[in-house]
Chain A
Amino acid sequence: MNPAPDHEERLAGEPVDATDVRVLAAVRAAHDALDPVPSGLVERITFAMTVASLEAEVARIVSDAEALTSVRGADYDRADTVTFASDGLSVMVSLEPAGPGRVDVVGWASEGEVDVELRERSRTRTAATDPDGRFTFAGVERGLVNFVLRRRGRPDAPPVITPAIDL
């Protein structure tokens, strides 16, 4: 059963070929099936990295986020909102369907003079609140997003980051 060692020795000195690629692909597929990266780990890591690199304060969700995630269902006529709060600053975010796979995000901050950053999976965009604390992002792709809030008048204060929500 065991191949002769000199056979293995010779094989070891040859370049990697198509059969090796097939073997390695099978090694990977078997591990993907039997010992995969836990679901959500990549998202938890990127969130933790963002918090660390911004030295941000993490806001907590003060209203039920379940309503928001359920927007994926067929029940589009309900207004879906979620409220975040951190250290005196709170933000309510409301979603409206805007065509297939997209939503408009309308938000209100508890104070004006806030720059709001929307972090999607592969891009980031920003909006400034109007004097009433209102901001909008149109046509946002559904998926996991975070908001990063910065008070314009207090450049030294740490930014506030919201937990990821599933639009």
Chain B
Amino acid sequence: MHTDADGLAVRAAAAFETFRDGDGSGMTLLVGEVTPLLWAVARQSGLDHQAAEDVVQNTWLKLVQHAGSVDDPRSVLKWLLTTTRRDSWRLRSRGHREEPDAHDDVREAEPDHTAPSPEDAVLAHDEQRVVWEHFHLLSDRCQTLLRAIAYADRPDYAGVADALGMPVGSIGPTRGRCLAKLRAALTSDPRWEMTS
């Protein structure tokens, strides 16, 4: 049995292998574990709720369609991340957000739950509120990297950063600039110390 210490990529590889051998049960657990990471990537790409849902679901369906052509199961997590990232950008560059009327899907009519601004965020914990505030002062790239990393295990940090197109050394094994920036901002904020 694989654990957190192995990281998501290793667990994804094991689940994918059993799936290719015809046993879908491991895949169900994997979808539950990896979808929050893919959701983070799609949303950080600027997609609205419905578009992010479509991209994430299509990423998994593409994995089913291309199951035979993935040579190394250990690359499955990276494959999922790059597919989500690429398709999110493609959808966005097609101007999806400018043309809501182009989609007659009734779900489009629902209000979009974009992430609230720091001022509007209602968070139960002071710690989360302070972090949310400083997180949104980071560059888009850093926000994307750190939000994704937050949904991965430590052994996956470097691989996730790589799949997101970040340079080597962005994170893992060392902290990297994005995390260093957020940490420095937090540790110089007296409210952060009070929450510990």
Contact = CB atoms under 8 A, between A and B. Distances in A.
A42 B132 contact: no
A23 B25 contact: no
Contacts of A44: 57
Contacts, number: 138
How many chain B residues sit at the interface, stated as a range, is: 35 or more
Interface of chain B, helix or strand or loop or mixed? Answer: helix
Contacts of B181: 8
B180 A12 contact: yes
B175 to A, nearest CB: 6
Contacts of B60: 45, 48-49
Contacts of B32: 42
Interface of A: 1, 3, 7-9, 11-16, 19-20, 22-35, 37-38, 41-42, 44-46, 48-50, 52-53, 119, 121-124
Interface of B: 19, 24-25, 27-29, 31-32, 35-36, 39-40, 43, 49, 53, 56-57, 60-61, 63-65, 67, 113-116, 121, 123-125, 127-129, 131-132, 135, 146-147, 149-151, 154, 157, 171-177, 179-188, 196
23 contacts: A3-B185, A12-B174, A12-B180, A13-B175, A16-B154, A19-B187, A26-B125, A26-B127, A27-B147, A27-B150, A27-B182, A30-B132, A31-B147, A41-B35, A42-B32, A42-B35, A46-B28, A48-B57, A49-B60, A49-B64, A52-B65, A53-B19, A122-B25
